[in-house]
Amino acid sequence: MKTGRITKWALGLALAGAVALTAGMAQAQLKIAFVYVTHVGDAGWTYQHHLGRMAMEKALGNKIKVTTVGPVKEGADAERVIRKLAASGNKLIFTTSFGFMNPTLKVAKRYKKVTFVHVSGYKRSKNVSTVFARLYEGRYLTGMVAGMMTKSNVLGYIGAFPIPEVIRGINAFTLGARAVNPKVQVRVIWVSSWFNPGKERQASETLIAQGADVITHHTDSTAAVQAAQARKKFAIGYHSDMSKYGKTAHLTAATHIWGSYYTKVAKAVLAGGWKAGDTWGGLKDGMVALAPFGPSVPAKVQAMVKKRQAEIRAGTFHPFQGPVKDQSGKVVVPAGKTMADGPMLGMKYYVEGVVGKLPKK
């Protein structure tokens, strides 16, 4: 009887010790969570976040422990998921879709000790930071490639929704193309969806049928690149290097790179010194990059684009540097000036060279 009681005590002590030990270990290790809006797949928006997460894990090793949840629908479901992640001890949470903005802020109010980073939104608080990429820099460079590679002088662009982010990309692409080839026209088709391979394919074919010989897209699938490959035209990928979907068609791609930013935030949180704020990083911050050039791109073109890329990095060139004219010919940025971030974030017009009117909604 007596020995029994002693073993019980001993067991209890050992257990308590074990619990304390694991708790101690968990504290040393920073628990990080990611909320994805779609499956990872092997190209596209979420895939780039996945690559960023992997880069961060590689850099920080066992100092961090990462959980990912996805796909999570934007809306009420997202709040539940984020809350659960915060409640289960994650001290740094990345929410990687625009629609997670309000849920993130709501949960962040309850969990003041947790650091939140919301990608692509504009609402911040004491423990919610926002981050986005200056993808228009990449768009400008890919526009240059397209402008030099086109023979028909018609470029095709598939857009998801006419919001400033997408319009800014179209305009930067057009400016880049016309900087090297003033005869270029950009035709735009809106497919009203971030992801609909069937429609993206049809839109690509419609653009090709109208003479476009270089196509790019601001949607999430690889359909445009595949369409260009099938029709022996050129394509420029988006989000990810999509060269595997268009061996000869893929010229390059404007891609998101999140790894260095994620690592920076995680390091700061580990050291206890992260301050919430906004980050809008571009080529110079390593958050935007061009995918390797395809075999069809001549060395001369590559050299020109690389030179411009270096200038953007150095800050001596800005894609929206004057003179920039809108479609009606009105000067929106006078010569010698560059556009400030505010007007860029609210861009609601096409620049000269884009065909057609911007849909109101």
312 binds other proteins (CB under 8 A): no
Three-state SS at 20: helix
Q: Which one of residues 33, 35, 36, 38 is an interface residue with other proteins (CB under 8 A)?
A: 38
Q: Which one of residues 156, 169, 259, 319 is an interface residue with other proteins (CB under 8 A)?
A: 156
4, 10, 11, 29 from 17: Cα distances, Å = 20, 10, 10, 18
Contact 60, 252 (CB under 8 A): no
155 binds other proteins (CB under 8 A): no
Q: Which is nearer to other proteins, 33 or 223 (CB)?
A: 223
37 binds other proteins (CB under 8 A): no
C-beta neighbour count of 40 within 10 angstroms: 17
Least distance from C-beta 220 to other proteins, angstroms?
A: 9
Q: Which is nearer to other proteins, 172 or 212 (CB)?
A: 212
**Residue 51, both tokens:** 């690559």
Q: Where are the beta strands (DSSP E) in the chain?
A: 30-35, 64-69, 92-95, 115-119, 128-133, 154-159, 185-190, 214-218, 234-239, 250-256, 278-281, 288-290, 324-325, 331-333
**Residue 260, both tokens:** 């260095």
Least distance from C-beta 173 to other proteins, angstroms?
A: 15
The site map against other proteins for 290-309 (x = CB under 8 A) is --------------------
CA angle 37, 207, 205 (to 5 degrees): 75
Taking CB under 8 A as the criterion, which residues in 203-232 touch other proteins?
203, 205-207, 209-210, 212, 221-223, 226, 230
Q: Which is nearer to other proteins, 246 or 319 (CB)?
A: 246
Q: Which is nearer to other proteins, 104 or 219 (CB)?
A: 219
43 binds other proteins (CB under 8 A): yes
54 binds other proteins (CB under 8 A): no
Q: Which one-letter amino acid corresponds to residue 144?
A: M
Separation of alpha carbons 174 and 353, rounded Å: 6
99 binds other proteins (CB under 8 A): no
Separation of alpha carbons 360 and 225, rounded Å: 28
By CB under 8 A, how many residues form the interface with other proteins?
41
Q: Which one of residues 98, 195, 280, 349 is an interface residue with other proteins (CB under 8 A)?
A: 195
Q: Which one of residues 191, 283, 288, 301 is an interface residue with other proteins (CB under 8 A)?
A: 191
Counts of helices then strands in the chain (DSSP H, E): 11, 14
Q: Which residues bind other proteins (CB under 8 A)?
A: 38-39, 41-43, 156, 187-193, 195-199, 201-203, 205-207, 209-210, 212, 221-223, 226, 230, 244-245, 355-361
